[in-house]
Amino acid sequence: MTTITSIDAMAKAIVDAHRATLALPLAPGAVAPTPASDDPVFVAALQAAHTLGFIHADALCVARAWSHRTRRSGQFDASAWPDEAVDFDMAPRPRTGAFAPLAQPIGLYAVMPDAAWTVRMARAGVPTVQLRFKSGDAQAIRAEVRAAVAGVQGTGAQLFINDHWQEAIDAGAYGVHLGQEDLEATNQESLDAIRHAGLRLGLSTHGYAEMLIADRHSPSYIAMGAVFPTTLKQMATAPQGTGRLRAYAALLRGSAHMAIGGIDLNNLPSVLAAGVRDVGVVRALMAAPDLDAAVAEWKAALTPA
């Protein structure tokens, strides 16, 4: 198993087994990795993950997990994609210092650009809503957050505030959602303040490396995306597709997670088939001519038969 030929054979076996479900086109300028390692399984899995179109940071996560699982199980199995938390060096649960869990499942999650839309969604019966208000005006931000918090009172909706964590604490919001860039810009003291205030925390991810970063913070939920192409936000990574979504969800099966990005009622069945029942929606709800009817249809579609 230590020769170049066997490494190539293992890499080919992995690619052949998972090309149909996990492959994406290689990113422009992507260069095949040249790992300095004497572990043939690691080298083969890294090579295979690159061929399948995983970005380098994610390919490294896959290779380490494949190596760990092979050593743990005592055998190399090209057909079984790694999905055990222990092989990705994820801490066991329950954990001390974790953010508070959600009071109810995420279900349908409406991500809205201002307080008016956020409140409208909550009053239409959407169980989880997010205010994603982008502005450099501190006074406007404070007003929008307070309006959203006040407006969802009595609806039962779980309200998350994107990015503006201090305003969320001050206004008494249910939770805070941070993207990866927001998370990088938020120091541990700020994260501790969110947790100590009792707010829930949601984190965005776009692949294995970001999922592992998010998991180390023990958030209330992890968002996985973008599943499908979307024009609402410039994405640094390609749409992940439902094959990868299934793999990500399997790894996160011990914690709350959701899918987001280009999901509509036409492609929702493929998301549900990937094992994900909580989804984030933006345009599909905002464009609905009858919001109450649309929310009812979405909730019915997300309810297990």
Is pLDDT at 153 greater than 60 in this prediction? yes
Q: Is 96 part of any domain?
A: no
For the segment 176-198, what is each residue's pLDDT rounded down to a tens digit?
999 999 999 999 999 999 999 99
Mean pLDDT of 40-49: 96
To the nearest 10°, report the CA torsion of 184, 185, 187, 191: -80
Handedness of CA 77, 80, 81, 87 (dihedral sign): negative
Whether 124 and 195 map to the same domain: the answer is: yes
**Alpha carbon distance 161, 203 (integer Å):** 12
Predicted TM-score (pTM) of this structure: 0.95
Range in 18-22, 37-41, 159-163 with the lowest mean pLDDT: 37-41
Quote the DSSP letter at residue 98.
P
Whether 126 and 18 map to the same domain: the answer is: no
* CA-angle at 157, arms to 230 and 134, nearest 5°: 45
Q: Is 91 part of any domain?
A: no
The domain in which residue 144 lies consists of 108-302
Q: Is 187 part of any domain?
A: yes
Whether 130 and 181 map to the same domain: the answer is: yes
Whether 212 and 277 map to the same domain: the answer is: yes
List phi, psi (to 5°) of 173: -70, 165
Query: Looking at the chain, which runs of residues are DSSP E strands?
Result: 108-112, 128-131, 158-162, 175-178, 200-205, 221-224, 257-260, 279-281
Q: Is 98 part of any domain?
A: no
Mean pLDDT of 274-287: 96
For the segment 210-240, what is each residue's pLDDT rounded down to a tens digit?
999 999 999 999 999 999 998 766 666 789 9
Check which CATH number belongs to the domain holding 173 and give it.
3.20.20.70
For the segment 74-127, what is each residue's pLDDT rounded down to a tens digit?
999 999 999 999 999 999 999 999 999 999 999 999 999 999 999 999 999 999
Is pLDDT at 18 greater than 50 in this prediction? yes
Whether 123 and 197 map to the same domain: the answer is: yes
- How many structural domains is the chain composed of? 2
- Going by pLDDT thresholds of 50, 70 and 90, the confidence category of residue 1 is very low
Residue the block writes with tokens 């749409």: 239
